[in-house]
Amino acid sequence: MNGTVRPAPDLSVIRDDVRAISAYAVPDSTGLVKLDAMENPFALPPEVARELGVRLGAVSLNRYPPADPRDFKDRLAQAIGLPAGMALLLGNGSDELIHLVIQACARPGATVLSPWPSFEMYDLASRFDGCNFVGVPLAADFSLPRDMLLAAIAAHRPAVVFIAWPNNPTGNLFGRATVEQVVEAAPGLVVLDEAYLPFAQDTWLPLLVRWPNLLVLRTFSKMGLAGIRLGYLCGDPAWIAEFNKVRPPYNVNVLTLAAAEFMLDRRALLEEQAAALRAERERLLARLRSAPGVTAFDSAANFILFRLAGGSEAADRVFARLRARGILIKNRAHVHPLLAGCLRVTVGTPEENDAFVAALSASLQEP
- Mean pLDDT for all residues in the chain: 96
The residue-averaged pLDDT of 352-360 equals 98
Q: Whole-angstrom Cα distance, residue 20 to residue 176?
A: 38
At 254-304, the pLDDT tens digits run 999 999 999 999 999 999 999 999 999 999 999 999 999 999 999 999 999
Q: Report pLDDT for 131.
A: 97
Would you say residue 97 has pLDDT above 70?
Answer: yes
Q: Report pTM.
A: 0.95
Q: Report pLDDT for 1.
A: 52
| Strand segments (E) across the chain | 33-34, 87-91, 111-116, 132-137, 160-164, 189-193, 214-219, 231-235, 294-296, 303-308, 327-328, 330-331, 342-346
The residue-averaged pLDDT of 351-365 equals 97
Domains of the chain: 11-45+268-365 (3.90.1150.10), 58-266 (3.40.640.10)
At 202-257, the pLDDT tens digits run 999 999 999 999 999 999 999 899 999 999 999 999 999 999 999 999 999 999 99
- Taken in order 269, 75, 231, 117, the sign of the CA dihedral is negative
Percent share of the chain, pLDDT over 90 = 93
Q: Whole-angstrom Cα distance, residue 184 to residue 321?
A: 47
Q: Whole-angstrom Cα distance, residue 315 to residue 334?
A: 10
The residue-averaged pLDDT of 2-11 equals 85
Would you say residue 116 has pLDDT above 80?
Answer: yes
Would you say residue 3 has pLDDT above 80?
Answer: no
At 45-55, the pLDDT tens digits run 999 999 999 99
Q: Whole-angstrom Cα distance, residue 367 to residue 363?
A: 9
Query: What is the DSSP annotation of 16-33?
Result: HHHHTSPPPP----TTSE
Would you say residue 2 has pLDDT above 80?
Answer: no
Length of the chain: 367
Q: Report pLDDT for 21.
A: 86
At 34-83, the pLDDT tens digits run 999 999 999 999 999 999 999 999 999 999 999 899 999 999 999 999 99
Q: Report pLDDT for 99.
A: 98
Q: Whole-angstrom Cα distance, residue 209 to residue 34?
A: 40
Q: Report pLDDT for 205.
A: 98
